[in-house]
Structure formats: C-alpha cells, structure tokens
A and B are shown apart, each in its own frame.
Chain A
Amino acid sequence: MPASMRSTSASSSAEAESPRTVPGKPWMWLAAPYFLLLLAFLAIPLANLGLISLYTRSASAIWSTDLTLQNYRQVFDGYYFYLILRTLRIGAVTTVCCVVLGYPLAYFLARCSQRALSIGLFLLVMPLMVSTVIRAFGWMVILGKKGVINTMSQALGFGPVINIMYTETAVVIGLIQIVLPLMVMPLMAALEKVPLYLEEASANLGARPLETFRKVLLPLSLPGLFSGILLCFTVSVSVVVTPALLGGRNARMIGNEIYDQVIASLNWPMASSLSMVLIALTFVIVAGGQRVGKRFRREPLR
C-alpha cells in the first residue's frame, strides 16, 4: 500500500506498471453476481417505474393500467413545473457556491503537507459519511429562531439576526455543506496533477497569484471541475431530507414531492413520472458532462 496519500505517486507508479490483462471467459463468472443483481434490482425496478409512470391513479385501486402520458403532461405545467424549476435553481446555486468555496480548499489540500492532508481529508470525508439527516438537524439548530446564531447575537446585544429557517436560502446553506466535499475531492485530485513548478514558472513570468490561478490552474484542472460539478448537481437536485427539515413548505423539491406521492398520497403513477423526469435530468447532465469533459481533457505535461 502506498504510504503517501498523494495520488500522484500512486498513479504514476501504477501507470508505469500497467498490469497485463487476460483474455478469456472467467470474467463472466466473476462479473455475473453483480450483473444479475443490477438487472434484478436496478434495471427491472427502473423499467417498472417507467411502466407505472404511464398508468393513472384510479379511485378504486392503486392504479388503472391504461397507458397514458397524462402524468407527464401534468408534470410540465403548473405546480409541478415550478417545483422542477425550483429544484434546478437550488441545484445550480448550490453548485456554483461549491465551485467558489471548493477551489481554495482543493488547492490547499493539493499543496499542503502530508500531515495537514490527512487531517484535512478526515475533516472533509467524515461529514460525508454521516447521515444527511444529522447534518440538516445541525443546521436547524444553528439557523433556527432560537438557534445558535441568534442566541449568540442576542448575547452580544443585537437581537435575533436571522430568520431564514424554512426558506430556500436555508436549504441552499444546508446543501452546500453536504455537497461541498463532493466538489473538493475531484478538484483536489486534478490540482495535485499540476506540478508546483508550473505555478512558479507562471509567477516568474510575471503573473500574480490570481492570474496564475486563472491562466494556469483553472484550465489544467477542468476535468476535476467537471466531475465536481456533475456530482454536486446530481446530488443537490435529488435530496429529500434537507429540504424537508430546512425548507418546510416553502422550499419543497422534487424529492419531497416524490416521497409524498408514494407514501402519503399513494399516487404512484404521478410519483413515477416525477421520478422518470428526475432520472432523465440526471442522465442528461451526466452524459452531457462526460462529453464536455472529454473535449477539455488536457493532462499536464510530465
């Protein structure tokens, strides 16, 4: 196991080795269990979802099996449409904030000492592994009317300063904290690949630090940026717990709606169509992101 946590040393030694692969049939046996699992419990359920999205809700049973696109028509006007717009908006704002906040952090982690790196990575990854409900809960306590920020400002004599619970802003704040590590990790990996002497060359040619960032670091870290944007956005648009706890009725997102429709209203056809819309959205973003990413692929020269 490589002793260093820097991916550059591990990846460059792995590239140098490039183990030989074997042609032949045994891979089928090895890959079969997972493949079958995916088929049975991912592909088929998703297909089922698609099927149900074409049903309609009926008064007597859960659904009537006449196929119709009525649900989709409903999705694209009125309430649901605004819901989708709000979801996309929240996702976009969160992602943009993550880019701005993520770059300094990723740069720091890419260039810091080994010790700082292990501490930094721990502080970054640990929250990621803690359930989102706990993180949203924490924000409730911080941002609430009687929350940490307000009690502190009251102690300082200012009175309650913020009243943003149950607003879109609160949801965005909570989401940023949840998704930020997903932006930082690929960005850090990309920045690590840019050798320090490139920054030095740029400075030597007269570029101030921000100019070096704009002209050298940014273009060379684009692949990582795209990965980060992809991850951040797809996760942000599909959250349930965070908008439920921090947004209440004012900031419902598509995830909340799907949950309600499935569990509360039992309008499974509607829920399924919303889900299919979300799937399509995710797919478009990921596929589009891959394509754009390939066009900008520029590995730093070794």
Chain B
Amino acid sequence: MTDASTTAPVPAAADAAPAGSSASLRVEGLVRRYSRDSVVGPISFEVNEGEFFSLLGPSGCGKSTTLRSIAGFERPDEGTITLAGNRIDQKPPFKRDVGLVFQNHALFSHLTVAQNIAFGLTLRKVPKAQIEQRVEGMLTLVGLSGYGARMPSQISGGQQQRVALARSLILEPPLLLLDEPLSSLDLKLRVQMREELRGLQRGLRKTTIFVTHDQTEALVLSDRIAVLSEGRIEQIGTPKEIYNSPSSCFVADFIGSSNLLQAEVVAESGGRVELLTSGGLRLVADAPQRPKLRNVTALIRPERIVLLTAESAARLPASSSSFAAHVVNVSYQGEDTHVRVAAGNSESLLIALKSGSAGSEVIDGENVHARIDAQHIRILER
C-alpha cells in the first residue's frame, strides 16, 4: 500500500514549519563494553547546529548503541555527551530533550493519530486548546491533515512513520535522532520519504542524527557522514569526501562499488607514484602524501575506468595508465552497464559505463584497452 497518491506532499517552505530550537551535540570518548570481545568505542564526534549527520555502517558496528546512548537507553561505561553546552549523559531518558524516531515507528496502538502526536504535550500539561492547534499544525507539516482521528492500524507504513516523526517534532526538541526510520518501507516509498525527510529537516533547520546501513541514503541525505565499523569511527566527512577520498579500505568498500587492488610502490616522483599491482598491472597514481609503506591498496572507482578504441589508445598523456584487457562478462543493468575485465596477469576489474555510451557495446571475449587517470587512483594504506 503506497501512500504516494493519498497524502499531500510535504511543504518545504521554512515559514510553514513551527519554529524549533536547534542545538549542537558533542560526543566524546563514548565507550560501551558488552563483553571482553565486544566493545563499542571510543567514539567521538561533533554535530553542528542544523546539520544532518549520519551514522553509517553495517549491522553490529555500534551506530545504534551510539544513538541509544544519546537518547538515554544505553548507559555508556565511559564518555560524555554534551548538548548545547550541557552534559546530558547522566540524565534519565525522560529528562533529555531529544526526539527519537524508532525503526518500527513505536506508535501507541490504543491512541488515535492525533492522540499519539499529542502524547508528549499532554504529559507536559499543555492546555487542551493549544494542543489541538499544534497537532493540527503538525499534521499539515507531515502531510496528514484530516488523519487525526484514525488509529495507527488504519494507516500505511509510510504514514505511520510520519506520525512518529510528528510526535517527536511537536515537542520542538533541539536534537532529532532517527534510528533507521526508512528500513521497513519498500523501495519506492523509501526514496519518496527520503526526499520529504530532507525537505522537512532543511525547512526546520533541525540538528538531526540519522542512523542507517544504507550508504545511498546516507550520501543523499547528509551534510556529513560518520562511517563506523566494529565499534569505531572509520572516517567522518562530507558525502563527497567519503566517496572520493575514503581513508581506509573499509570505507572505500562500503561506500559505492570499488576496485581494490593490492600493489607495491615501485617508484615515486613529484607527487606521483608508480605502482605494480599483485596482478601484474602497472599504474600511475597521484599521491599528495608520500606513502609510508611499500605495500598499499589502490582504489579505483568503476565509473572512472575508460574503455578506449584502438586509435585513442595511442595518444595518451603521461598522467594516466593504460593497459590491455579482456572482457570476461557484460551485465546490463538498465541505466548502467557493468563490464568485468581481466587485465595484467591476474587482475580482475569492474568497469561501470552508462548504457549506450561508447564502450558499453562490448561483448564477452572481446579484447579492449582501458585507461585510468592518475587523479582517479587513490592510495589507501589501511
């Protein structure tokens, strides 16, 4: 049941939104020890006012633990959490002014949509007339006007998630936490909700922390991303930084698809190094910093490898590597075509081309030439 047609799109205008406060968050040295082998942390990061910050990583990486610690449902063994300059890590969850939207919306099935949204306000003894007014405003904001009298069981999954959002936002918390709120929705709905979420957050300028394992979501929504793995932060950066300049093999592998080649540094001069991969390929790469080790990993994004015709193979600048390759498999994916080639002695590379472009018409077994610019090969030492 999609709700694309049944509800109004979310207005993105900032003045339509009820003004709320927005604060900065600082997490320092957060550690949670589950057992001798299972430790999350130390985790430290800062989120600026109004920023959309994602915690991204595979299951078990500690992102949920971190989020729940901020909300107060996990007691960290070490570390501090500071919101707008005040420490909140010692406070019980009902005293923290932090909004949390759960993965399974957690709506109260015995209350109507309006009552759910009003829940926090009734606890704070806000006068009834005011509650009604604010609930109406919220319903409009999330595109659910007129749904106030319905029960949670009578609305769709996407609508339930919006109610959960409204329920938290109406309390105007300085910080909003979202725990994989879209993962229970189907693909089309997820994409639509993503856009609405972004519009909403931008309009409210609310500091938001978003937990997800879906790297596309993180890249699309965030101002900055923290990539986590096995309880530690691997890298924090903007989506572009994370994608183009991953600091480790894990990040490179987790975000987007990648070719990761083991290689040895055989020569270096003037910001450029020459690599010999374990599969026998000679590559030239830009290296703004001298690699400290001899054995490194070369990261090449599949869309950065260019397939050449025979003529262009001849005229090549020195700032790129070119080599012969043999097409092993062509896989048509609609918008893209993925071509797997064998090169060097034993190297296997994935090339991503736009379907219909030059080079995407190759067939299995063909011999081709490939080129990679030096700036598109990134050297990773971890």
Contacts and interface: CB of A to CB of B under 8 A. Distances in A.
Interface of A: 195, 197-198, 200-209, 211, 215-216, 219-220, 298-301
A48 B119 CA distance: 57
Nearest to B160: A301
A301 B152 contact: yes
B93 A203 contact: yes
Given A200-B73, A211-B123, A301-B107, A206 B94 contact: yes
B348 interface: no
A82 B175 CA distance: 63
Contacts of B119: 202, 205, 207, 215
Given A202-B119, A204-B93, A205-B168, A301 B109 contact: yes
Interface in B62-104: 71-73, 92-94, 96, 98-100, 102, 104
A204 B124 contact: no
By secondary structure, the A interface counts as: helix
Given A197-B102, A198-B108, A300-B109, A204 B71 contact: yes
B20 interface: no
Contact of B100 (A201, A208, A209): A201
B110 A298 contact: yes
A220 B109 CA distance: 8
18 contacts: A197-B106, A198-B106, A200-B71, A200-B100, A201-B108, A201-B164, A203-B72, A203-B73, A203-B94, A204-B96, A204-B98, A205-B120, A207-B119, A215-B108, A298-B109, A300-B109, A301-B109, A301-B152
Given A200-B73, A215-B119, A205 B167 contact: yes
A220 B123 CA distance: 18
Contacts of A220: 108-110
Contacts of A204: 71-72, 93-94, 96, 98-100, 168
Contact of A208 (B94, B152, B164, B168): B94
B171 A205 contact: yes
B108 A216 contact: yes
Contacts of A201: 100, 102, 106, 108, 164
Nearest to B179: A197
B153 A206 contact: no
A220 B73 CA distance: 22
Contacts of B92: 203
Interface of B: 71-73, 92-94, 96, 98-100, 102, 104, 106-110, 119-120, 123-124, 152-153, 164, 167-168, 171
A45 to B, nearest CB: 43
Contacts, number: 68
Nearest to B104: A197
A195 B153 CA distance: 16
Contacts of A216: 108
Contacts of B94: 203-209
A206 B171 contact: yes
- Could you say which of A195, A200, A201, A207 has the most chain B C-beta atoms within 10 Å of its C-beta? A201
A144 B107 CA distance: 52
A122 to B, nearest CB: 28
Contacts of B110: 219-220, 298
Contact of B93 (A198, A200, A211, A301): A200
A198 B105 CA distance: 9
B62 to A, nearest CB: 18
Contacts of A301: 107, 109, 152-153
A207 B167 CA distance: 13
Contacts of A198: 106, 108
Most buried by B among A206, A209, A299, A300: A206
Contacts of B120: 205-206
A202 B99 CA distance: 11
Nearest to A222: B110
Contacts of B104: 195, 197
A202 B94 CA distance: 8
A66 B98 CA distance: 78
A200 B123 contact: no
A206 B93 CA distance: 8
Given A201-B106, A206-B94, 7 more contacts: A195-B104, A198-B106, A198-B108, A202-B108, A216-B108, A298-B109, A301-B109
Nearest to B109: A301
A295 to B, nearest CB: 13
Given A205-B119, A205-B171, A200 B106 contact: yes
A208 B168 CA distance: 16
A299 B109 contact: yes
Nearest to B167: A205
Contacts of B72: 203-204
B94 to A, nearest CB: 5
B118 to A, nearest CB: 10
A201 B107 CA distance: 8
A206 B123 contact: yes
Contacts of A208: 94
Contacts of B108: 198, 201-202, 215-216, 220
A26 B93 CA distance: 58
B75 to A, nearest CB: 14
A211 B106 CA distance: 17
B98 to A, nearest CB: 7
